Structure 1
Amino acid sequence: MRVIRWLNQHFEEALLTIFLIIMVLVMGYQVAMRYIFNNSLPWSEELTRYLFVWSAFLSIAYCIKHHSSIKIDQILHLLPPVAQKVLLLLSKIISLAFFSYVLRYSFNVVQSTIKSGQLTPALQIPMYFVHYAAVVGFGLAVFRILESFVRVAAKNVEEEI
């Protein structure tokens, strides 16, 4: 149970931190190889680019979990608590509908990429590994929205603002 609780609290942060460390180390190695040894690595920029793509999709769920999305709080604070709760739930329903919609189509993209058999140019890994970032990111976003939806419906609105 402790592992599940830890994963629920820190999954996105752990992966984002690991990806950032790998990106920094790989690009540092690339810079050293290029300027010190006058030799460029063909795979380093591609790996960094794909880790960045994964980081971008994972950060969607991270932002939802930490309520750091772009929003206007002033209007919300002027409303009575019941109206605040209704507005928050409405925004979460719209977000849930959007992320569920794009999740469905991200599966289609991955399936077509699997069928094509396309490989990345330098690393020669299947391209669908890169496209799975959308499935994982949007899936985690749906999960985090459902999680926050339950929190708003059951608790005080102030925790979600």
Structure 2
Amino acid sequence: MINRILDRLEETLIITFMAAATLVTFSAVMMRYLGGSGISWAQELTIYLFIWMAKFGAAYGVRTGIHIGVDFVVNAVRPSIRRLLIIAAMSLGVIFTGVIAFFGGRWVIFIYGTGQISPDLEWPMWIIYLAIPFGSGLMCYRFIQAMMLFFRSGHIHTHTYGEEEDREIDVIHEQEVRS
């Protein structure tokens, strides 16, 4: 249940950030094209929206199996070694994203203490930097989820298209509900 809510929240945030960035950019260009001065803070907001979108998008990529991976070596070795390589890769993913989330959290605390604000929007920078611990923390959680799925079933998330994707997601959620 909590995973389904987290899945929808993740997807909603990604869509919202992307749509907002597109709308802000389009509006700024149209205002400038129509002879106005444009929106002075549009570029800064668009950059921040894309940063947040990318951090949550990376977690989504791990969850759905669309994250870029080099699997040539993994697919070329025998199954016993393949299992070790997959576990090692996922473990490194957990460690790396966990470390980034931890130090990202420390960075947010540091920036909060400095009172820095963004140049055009004049927003507190610590809020903008929250993308690092939130996005990396979620990505770490997704790596842990993927590793647990691998331990339970021997399968890793793979991305398929259309109806197959829907069936795969349903199977994964059914497995999560059972456990």
TM-score, with structure 2 as normaliser:
0.80
Identity %: 25
1:6 aligned counterpart, secondary structure: helix
Q: Compare relative contact order (CA 8 Å, sep 6+) and give the higher one, 1 or 2.
A: 1
| Inter-partner Cα distance in structure 2 for 1:74 and 1:47 | 39
**Alignment-mate amino acid for residue 160 of structure 1:** H
**TM-score with structure 1 setting the length:** 0.88
Equivalent pair of 1:85/1:152 in contact (CA under 8 Å): no
1:42–1:122 CA contact under 8 A, matched in 2: yes
Note the alpha carbon deviations across 1:6-26, whole angstroms, 9 max, x for none: 323333222111111111111
Determine the structure 2 residue equivalent to 1:30.
Answer: 28
C-alpha displacement of 1:123: 1.5
Structure 2: 5+ residue runs without aligned partners? 159-179
CA distance in 1, matches of 2:143, 2:9: 15
Task: Please state how far the C-alpha of 1:61 moved relative to its aligned partner.
Answer: 0.6
Measured after TM superposition, the shift of residue 5 of structure 1 is 4.5
Q: Counterpart in 2 of 1:44?
A: 42
| 2:173 aligned partner | none
Which structure 2 residues correspond to residues 51-66 of structure 1 after superposition, within 5 A? 51-66=49-64
Residue 17 of structure 1 corresponds to which residue in structure 2?
A: 15
Aligned length: 158
Aligned structure 1 segments of 4 or more residues deviating by more than 4 angstroms: none
Q: 1:131 aligns with which of 115, 125, 129?
A: 129
The whole-number CA distance in structure 2 between the counterparts of 1:73 and 1:121 is 43
- CA RMSD in angstroms comes to 1.7
Find the aligned partners of 1:119 and 1:53 in 2 and give their Cα distance: 17
Q: Among 128, 153, 156, which residue is 2:154 paired with? A: 156
Cα distance in 2 for partners of 1:5, 1:152 equals: 17
What CA distance in whole angstroms lies between the structure 2 residues aligned with 1:120 and 1:152?
42
- Runs of at least 5 residues in structure 1 that lack an aligned partner in the other structure: none
